[in-house]
Structures are given as C-alpha cells and as structure tokens.
Structure 1
Amino acid sequence: MRRIVENARGVIFSILVTVVTLIGAVPLLPVGLVKLLLPVAPVRRVADPILLGIARYWARAFNWVMMTTARADLELHNSVPPNPDGRYVLISNHQCWADVMLLVHVLDREGLPFPRFFIKEVLRWLPIVGFACWVLDFPFMKRYSKAQLAKNPSLRGKDMETTKRSCEVFRRVPATIVNYAEGTRSTAPKRAAQNSPYRLMLRPKAGGTAFTLQAMDDVLDGVLDMTVAYTGSPEPTFWDFVCGRIPHVYIKLRPLEVPAHLRGGDYQNDPAFREAFKAWLEAIWAEKDEEVASRQDPSAKAGIHTDEAA
C-alpha cells in the first residue's frame, strides 16, 4: 500500500509539471521565436529579460510541485552572499535529475543569478524545454567517442570552441555558469566502467571548468562549489525523489578559492598547467566524495570502503 501511495505522488508530480510546462510555453514560444528570427542586439535587449523572467517563474512553479510531492527536508548550508547581478562559475556533483532543479531552487532562494548549464546536444530537441534552453543561450555540447576522435582528429576541441562562444554572451549578462564536472550523472555501472577511485562519484573532467574560467576570468565575481547529498540513498533516482522515498537532502554552497597559478593558464597547450589543474580538481572531488558518501552510504559511516561502493 505504501508503494502505491508513493508512486501516486510521482504520477501527480508528472501531471502537474506537464501542466506548468504547457502554461509556461504560452509566452515563451512567441518571444523565443522573435529572438531567434531577429538575432540583433536591440531585440535581444528586450527579449532576454522577458525570457529570463518566464524561465524563473516556471522553475519556481516546477520546484514548488517537486518539493510538495517529494516532501523532502532541505538542509542548506550557504556561505555565499546574495548578488543577483554577479557572474559566477559553479561546479557540482551530479547523481540524478533532481540535482538540476534543486540547484536552480537554491540559487533563486539565495539571491544568485539564474543558472546556465552545459547540456548535451540531444536535449535541444526536447519539446518546449529544449527550445527554452536554446533561447536562454544554454551551451549545447556534442560528445564524441574515442573512436570518433581517432577517426576524425579535427573534432577535438569543438566543445571548447562552444564554451568560448557561450562565455562571450555570459560576459554581458548576470549568470551562474554551471559545470557538472563529471560530464554525466554518476551511477554504479558508470563508476565501474570508468574504474572511478571514488565511492559515489565519477572522475571529474577538468577541461570544461578550466576553459570557462579562462574565458570569464576578468569579469567573474567568484567560483562556487555545490555539494548535493541524498541522506541514506547511495543510488538516488529522480523518480524515488518525487515519490517521497528520499526524505532529506543536504546541500552545501560555498565560495571556492582558485589558486593564482591556476587562473589564466592555457589548459589546451600547457601540459604542466593541465596536470596541475586536474590535480586541484581531483583533490576537491575526493573531499566532496567523502562528504557525500558519509551522508548517503551507511557503510561509509563505519569507515568501510568496499569494491561495491567504489
């Protein structure tokens, strides 16, 4: 009976979010089409604030529905002062889709700029949501396999070119540029395939973070670090969250001091800088992994680190 009630919450969430998204599409589609069809500065100056306002209110409605159906307690530890007009780069761990909306919720609640995410190219074609990301200037990233890169070396660095173009837009407007450094959601099969050294995280990819910092360094108000943990849930899923099976979420948001020798370097062409930046990010990830594991994995509380948890 309990399982039926929980699944009913998930169904209610799905229905309500669909309604909220359709309502948001009514003003979004015409304004977004005008921006895409007339890509000139005067049109952008009018359209961008409208689109951002629509996105902000849609996210608030989405998060209200999500937190109401999930009935989860949010434990937030934030040491970043409010600054809605700032420009930030934020790195975070990523375990399920709830991470994304919780991040949007926290930034809005704490008076920080609306986030822009680096997202996969395939998501561009999602109905309404993909279009919204497009007109809000979210960077769409194409992922190439090792085989594709070996066959066509000219594909190397394409994501970095996209990063640089996107950052030119974000230099002119307040934004929190979010980089999920693992590149995808962390799951046990993915960690096993990658031979990850962490209990609950994948290896962080340093290139995207380094290039964003390089492109934005002279206008940044700060670099932020977010840690998200689902208490007692070693492998959290979005469905379990909206069904109310994860009663408590821990989030820590803090400023992150980037050492002076790791700002402004050439990640692509300087091997020494590249290795130093990777080592710095991996040290942050090791600390983050211990914090997440201690809250999500009961075995971690006893200091147990089994192959299954790795």
Structure 2
Amino acid sequence: MKHIVGLFSFLSLAINMLIWCSVLLILGIIRLAIPLNAWRKFITRITVIIGESCIYCNGLWIRFLLRPKWSVEGLENLDIRKWYLATSNHQSWGDIFVLQFITNKRMPLLRFFMKDVLKWIPIVSIVGWSMNMPFLKRYSKEK
C-alpha cells in the first residue's frame, strides 16, 4: 500500500508542478519581454495567486494521500498583511511543502533564497525570477 500511495503522491506532485510551473514560465517570459515597472508589479500579483493555487493543490495530495497528523501552534497570530522570516533546517525534502502547506493564505507567499547556480537552469531561473525569489551566492570561509 505504501508503494501505491508513494506513486500517487509522486504523480500528483509532478503533474501539479508541471501545470503551474508551465504557467509561471510563460508569465516569466512575458515579464522579461515587457520591462515596464507597472507590468512587472501586475505579473508579480498574478504569480502570487498562481503560487498560492499550486500550494493549495499540493496541500490536497498531502491532506488526502499522506494524511499527516501535525500539531502547529501560533498560526492564529499570523497576518496576511505582514511579512515574516521563516527558517528551515531541511530535515527532509518535504520541509518546503510543509511550510507552504501550513502557512498558505495565512501570511504572504513564502519566498526562498535560491542557490545562484540554479540561474543556469532555464525553467527554474525564469520561474524563480518571475516570483521575485532572490538568488543567493554562497562563499567558502576562505573567500
């Protein structure tokens, strides 16, 4: 049974991300092609709605296929009009999905510092850029 749930989880995630990231990719290309500030702000608002929709759909497979039992405190104190700094120590690949799932529409869309090398992956860079995700360079202690 675990293998079936795992397969359906993977397929749900892959299809959901493919659909929403395709839309974000198109919007990112349009945003790049029309470098007007008002247009960029408009596209950013659209990408936030798309991001929240993607997170909502991811939440469906989390809720119905995985059925997690979480105890989360403090969500009632979050305000959608305020910005927050969320940190994660990446205990698993699911950290980002969990953070998004529990904070979606309770606070502004989470934005992540993306590794600078991801700029060279065309789809990732355009989607990240279209959603105003900052790219971060890491340096060794010697530098």
* TM bracket (short chain): 0.7 to 0.9
Alignment match of 1:105 (pick from 88, 95, 101): 101
Partner of 1:293: none
- Asked whether the 8 Å contact 2:88–2:95 carries over to 1, the reply is no
| Structure in which a larger fraction of residues adopt strand | 1
Provide the aligned length of Structure 1 versus Structure 2.
143
Q: What is the alpha-carbon root mean square deviation over aligned residues? A: 2.2
Q: How does 1:144-293 map to 2 (within 5 A)?
A: 144-146=139-141, 149=143
Q: Could you say if the C-alpha distance between residues 79 and 72 of structure 1 is closer, same or farther in structure 2, counting changes exceeding 3 Å? A: closer
Asked whether the equivalents of residues 125 and 131 of structure 1 are also in contact (C-alpha less than 8 Å), the reply is no
Deviation at residue 144 of structure 1 after TM alignment: 2.6
> Is the contact between residue 116 and residue 138 of structure 1 (CA under 8 Å) also seen in structure 2?
yes
Percent identity over paired residues: 27
Q: How does 1:63-78 map to 2 (within 5 A)?
A: 63-78=59-74
1:131 to 1:10, Cα distance in 2 relative to 1, 3 A: farther
The structure, 1 or 2, with the larger RCO (C-alpha pairs under 8 Å, 6+ apart) is 2
Q: Give CA deviations for 1:82-105 in whole Å, capped at 9, x if unaligned.
A: 321212223343311211111111
* Structure 2: distance between partners of 1:24 and 1:137: 16
Contact 2:48 2:131 (C-alpha < 8 Å) held by counterparts = yes
Counterpart position of 1:41: 37
- Cα distance in structure 2, aligned partners of 1:11 and 1:127: 27
Residues 103, 35 of structure 1: alpha-carbon distance in 2 compared, 3 angstrom cutoff: same
Q: Which residue of 1 aligns with 2:27?
A: 31
Name the residue aligned to 1:131.
126
1:64-123: CA deviation from partner (whole Å, max 9, x where unpaired): 2133322211211116523212122233433112111111111115x2111111121233
Match of 1:220 in 2: none
Which entry has the higher C-alpha Rg, 1 or 2? 1
Deviations 1:251-285 (A, max 9, x none): xxxxxxxxxxxxxxxxxxxxxxxxxxxxxxxxxxx
Give 1 or 2: higher helix fraction. Answer: 2
Q: Using the TM superposition, give the Cα deviation of residue 6 of structure 1 relative to its aligned residue in structure 2, in angstroms.
A: 1.3
Shift of 1:126: 5.2
Unaligned ranges ≥5, structure 2: none
- In structure 2, the CA distance between the partners of 1:21 and 1:92, relative to structure 1 (3 Å rule), is closer
Per the alignment, residue 55 of structure 1 pairs with 51
Q: Distance in 2 between matches of 1:65 and 1:38?
A: 36
Picking from 4, 22, 29, the partner of 1:8 is 4
Match of 1:86 in 2: 82
